[in-house]
Amino acid sequence: MPVKQLSRESPALSEGSFPRAAGDRAVESAARRSAASVSVCLLTGGDDRPYALGMASALAGQGISVDFIGSDKLDAPELHNSPQINFLNLRGDQSEDAPLRRKIVRILAYYARLAKYAARSEARIFHILWNNKFEHFDRTLLMLYYRLLSLGIQYRLCDHILVHTGAMKDELVADFGIASQRVSVIPFGINNTSPSTAIGRREARKRINLGSGEKTLLFFGQIAPYKGLEYLIAAMSELAMEEKNFRLVIAGRIKPGYVSYWNAVEREISRAGLENCIIQHIRFIPETEVEVYFKAADVAVIPYVEIFQSGVPFLAYSFGLPVIATDVGSLRQDIVEGRTGFICRAKDSSDLANMIYQYFDSELFRDLEIRREEIKRYANERYAWEKVAEITQKVYEKLSGEGLAGKSTGPSI
C-alpha cells in the first residue's frame, strides 16, 4: 500500500553509497543547523524523483525546514537553491548493475551514516515517503520478515499515516485496526518535475517515428503483471482488425523480476502480428525524454488489473494528455469522464477496445489541442503541491505539539 508514514521508530534503512568524508560532513552540517518552527527529515527511499522533489519544494514553500535524505538519482538544482532544504546524499550511487559485494558495502555504509544522522539530527519528525529497497534482501530475509510480522506492525509503530485516497484510509482502519484520527488523506501532487520544452506534437512524433495521422496510444512506465499490458495488446489486436491506423507506444523498462512476463507479452505481440503496430522502447526513459512520448501520443492508456493509485495519470495531465484507465483502485476518482479521459472495465480487452474507439470519436479528441490546456489547468488546481503541503504541515504541527507536551520521547516518523 503506497502510504506515507510517520512513526516513533528509527528510520527505515537501505542500500546506498557516499564518499565517507563528504557523507560525514553532510551529517555534521545537519546537526549544526538551527531548528525551525517545524523541522522534518524526509526519507525518500532514494527513488520516485517527481514525488520526492514536489513534496520537498512544497514543504519548503510553507516555511518548513527539510532534511532531504536522497541519492545521486534524486539530486536536483531545486534541492540546493532553497534555504529551507538541506540535501543529504546519504545513499549516493544506486546503480543496479553493481556486483552483490559492492551492494552490501553500500548498504552497510548507508546504515552507518543514517544512524549517525538520526542520532545528531534536530528534526522532530521523520517522514517516510517510501520504504527502502535492496533487491536481494527484499526477496529473501525481508519477505520472511513480512510474513512473520506483517505490515500491521509497521503501521502501528507510526504516529501518523498519510494516504492518497479515502479507500486507502478505510482499509487501514478496517483491516489493520488503525484509529481513523491517525490517518490523513492528502492529494497526489501533480508531476511537474519532468522538463517541458518548446517541441510540439509534430516534432515529438518525428522523434519516435510516428506518422502525423496515426492514432497513437501510450503505455508508459515500468512493465509488470499488475499493469495488465496483455489486455492492451489484446485490445490492439481487435483494433487492428478494423483499422490499420492505430499505433501503440510502449515506453518503460521491465520491473526487476518480471522478464518472463514481458517475454510472454512479446510472444503475444508476435502471435497477433502486431509488430508493425507497436513501437517498443523497453528501457529506462530519462526525464529529458519524457515529454516526447506524452506530446506525441493522443491518449495514455492505463490497463491495470490492480492498484491503489498510479502516478501515470498525473504525469499525463501535466502535459495535458487525456487518459483511458480501468476501473481499479482510485483511478475512477482521478478521471473526469469526457473531460480528462474515460474509464473501462478491468481485465476486459473488448471493453478497452470499445473505449478507445469511443475516445477517438469524442469531442475530447477532436478538440485535443484546446483540451490539453484545459486538462493542465484543471490538474494544477486540483492536485497542487501547495494543498499537499498545507495538510501535511498541519500533521507535522500536531505531532510536534505532542512532542513538546511530553507525549513523545523521540522524533516522530
Cα 282 to Cα 251: distance, rounded to the nearest angstrom: 6
- Whether residues 135 and 216 share a domain: the answer is no
Rg of the chain, C-alpha, whole Å: 22
Amino acid at 116: K
Cα 229 to Cα 354: distance, rounded to the nearest angstrom: 16
- Whether residues 70 and 175 share a domain: the answer is yes
Are 52 and 129 in contact by the 8 Å Cβ rule? The answer is yes
- Whether residues 13 and 144 share a domain: the answer is yes
SS3 350: helix
CA distance to 117, 296, 369, per residue, from 180 (Å): 32, 44, 43
Residue 280 resides in a domain: yes
- Whether residues 225 and 310 share a domain: the answer is yes
Cα 66 to Cα 83: distance, rounded to the nearest angstrom: 9
- Whether residues 138 and 281 share a domain: the answer is no
- Whether residues 90 and 25 share a domain: the answer is yes
Buried b (16+ CB within 10 A) or exposed e, 22-57: ebeebbeebeeeeeeebbbbbbbbbbbbbbbbbbbb
Are 6 and 33 in contact by the 8 Å Cβ rule? The answer is no
Residue 196 resides in a domain: no
Q: What is the pLDDT of residue 7?
A: 44
Residue 355: burial class (beta carbons within 10 Å; 0-12, 13-18, 19+): buried
Residue 151: burial class (beta carbons within 10 Å; 0-12, 13-18, 19+): middle
Are 54 and 189 in contact by the 8 Å Cβ rule? The answer is yes
- Whether residues 160 and 219 share a domain: the answer is no
SS3 23: helix
Q: What is the pLDDT of residue 152?
A: 64
| Eight-class DSSP state of 367 | T
Are 105 and 127 in contact by the 8 Å Cβ rule? The answer is no
The CATH number given to whatever domain includes residue 137 is: 3.40.50.2000
- Whether residues 81 and 153 share a domain: the answer is yes
Residue 374 resides in a domain: yes
SS3 content of the chain, % helix, strand, coil (to 5): 50, 15, 35
- Whether residues 102 and 234 share a domain: the answer is no
SS3 295: helix
Are 74 and 57 in contact by the 8 Å Cβ rule? The answer is no
Cα 327 to Cα 342: distance, rounded to the nearest angstrom: 10
| Eight-class DSSP state of 215 | E
Torsion sign, CA atoms 210, 191, 185, 3: positive
The number of helices, as runs of H, and strands, as runs of E, in the chain is 16, 13
CA distance to 24, 59, 83, 105, 120, per residue, from 411 (Å): 21, 18, 22, 28, 11
- Whether residues 244 and 214 share a domain: the answer is yes
Q: What is the bridge-based pairing of β-strands 158-163 and 4-7?
A: antiparallel
Residue 413 resides in a domain: no
| Eight-class DSSP state of 219 | E
Q: What is the pLDDT of residue 29?
A: 46
Cα 293 to Cα 279: distance, rounded to the nearest angstrom: 11
- Whether residues 148 and 177 share a domain: the answer is yes
Domain range spanning residue 163?
4-189+384-404
Residue 28 resides in a domain: yes
- Whether residues 164 and 210 share a domain: the answer is no
Are 91 and 5 in contact by the 8 Å Cβ rule? The answer is no
Are 357 and 236 in contact by the 8 Å Cβ rule? The answer is no
Buried b (16+ CB within 10 A) or exposed e, 168-198: bbebbeeebebeeebbbebbbbbbbbbeeee
Are 86 and 68 in contact by the 8 Å Cβ rule? The answer is yes
H-assigned helices in 199-330: 201-207, 229-242, 259-271, 287-296, 312-318
Split into its structural domains, the chain has a count of 2
Q: What is the pLDDT of residue 228?
A: 97
Q: Which residue has the cell 510502449?
A: 250
H-assigned helices in 38-99: 49-61
* Mean pLDDT per 10-residue segment, the chain (413 residues): 46 33 45 55 81 89 90 88 91 83 84 81 81 51 44 73 87 87 88 84 95 95 96 97 93 94 97 96 94 97 92 94 95 94 97 97 96 94 89 87 49 53
pTM (predicted TM-score): 0.74
